[in-house]
Structures are given as structure tokens and as C-alpha cells.
Amino acid sequence: MTHADETLLHRIQQGDNDAVELLYDRYGSALQRHLRSMVHDDEASADLVQEVFVRVWQRAELWSVPGSVKAWLYKIATNLALNHLRSRRRQPEQPLEYQPLEGWQQEAETRVPGRLIDAAALQPEALLAEAERKRQLWRIVDELPQDKRQIFHMVYEAEMDLRSVADALEIPEGTVKSRLYHGKRQLTRRWLESGFDY
């Protein structure tokens, strides 16, 4: 016997654990593929799927009857993925600095060959300037209206194609293109007003 999504949500609202498991069985794999396409990390996407269903359990009363349960799940998943990407951007992984072991001498013949050294790592001023430009750019993106901001994060941070964005947000692909176009215009104007060049 199959259960309609809406029936499962009503059962979850009444505290039915089995209904959560049925909903997970129905959408867990698809949500994980969606999240993996956004965060590009298998472990993080698995954790985020679990978080989606924790949210469903804790906030089932927030689902509104005329809305699609599937769309609600994808909206929760998309928002969690965007939050994950934002937090990852705020705390980027830093390369480990080379430190010779205590008591070891680094003779000229044991130095690392130049072709193995990242040239950018040798220019901290350039790295700082680029990091500042990116920080300013995302600050301006975060000032865009919510509908445009969300699409920017999905396209440029999560690297989703326009069709996937349209499917996740349940809007036409043309609407995604339009919001992206107008968002870029606003972003360019604010970037230049802030005194930055290209």
C-alpha cells in the first residue's frame, strides 16, 4: 500500500516515526543526489540528508497543505546546502605550512624543487587582495534580493546548472535566467559603486 506524501506529513505531525522512515525511503536518495550536486562532497551530502529529515520531524507543522511535500523537502535541502557552503566559505581550508622536523637540517640539496611550489603561496599580498575581492563580492551578493541571491549561490557557489536550479526551486528555467541576468546587473552596479574594478 502506498501512502500519499500529504498523508505521511500529517502522520509525522502526529508524531509517527514510521511515517518519517517511509518519507525517507521515498526521497532520501534523490535528496542526496541533489545535495551532492550542490556541495560536491559525499559525506556532507549524507549528513545534510539526515538534517533534512530531522527538520521535517521537528518542524512538520510548518508544511502548508496546498504546497507539495516534495517541493518542501527540496527547499529545506537547498537551504541547508547553501548554509553549508556559506559556512565553508567563511572557514576555508588553509594549506599546511612546511615546518622541518626538530633536529633535522635542511641542506640545499634536500630543498623542495621549484616546480613543486605553488607560486601563489609565495605572494601573500596577492592572496590577501584576491581573498578581499572575493569577500567583498559575496558581501554584495548577499545584499541582493533573496530570489536573486539564492540563484547566485546555487549557480556560482554550488555550481548547479540552470535546469537543476529551476527543478530545485520549482520555477521555469527562463525565470532562473532572468533573475540571474538582473542579479548580475545589480551586482555589477554595486561593485562599481563600491570602488572596485574588474
Q: What pLDDT is recorded for position 40?
A: 84
In the chain, where the domains are located = 1-92, 120-198
Write down the pTM of the prediction: 0.53
Q: What pLDDT is recorded for position 24?
A: 93
Where is 160: in which H helix or E strand? none
- CATH number among 1.20.120.160, 3.30.479.10, 3.20.130.10, 1.10.1740.10, domain 1-92: 1.10.1740.10
Distance between alpha carbon 97 and the CA centroid of its chain, in Å? Answer: 28
Lookup: cell for 168: 530545485
Q: What pLDDT is recorded for position 90?
A: 63
pLDDT in tens, the chain (198 residues): 356 888 998 899 899 989 999 999 999 998 998 888 888 888 999 999 999 999 998 888 887 766 788 888 988 998 898 888 888 766 555 444 444 444 444 444 444 444 444 555 556 676 677 777 788 888 888 888 888 888 888 888 777 788 888 888 888 999 999 998 998 888 888 888 877 654
Name which CATH class applies to 120-198: mainly alpha
- CA dist., res. 36 & res. 9, Å (int): 25
Where is 143: in which H helix or E strand? none
1-92 and 120-198: same fold?
no
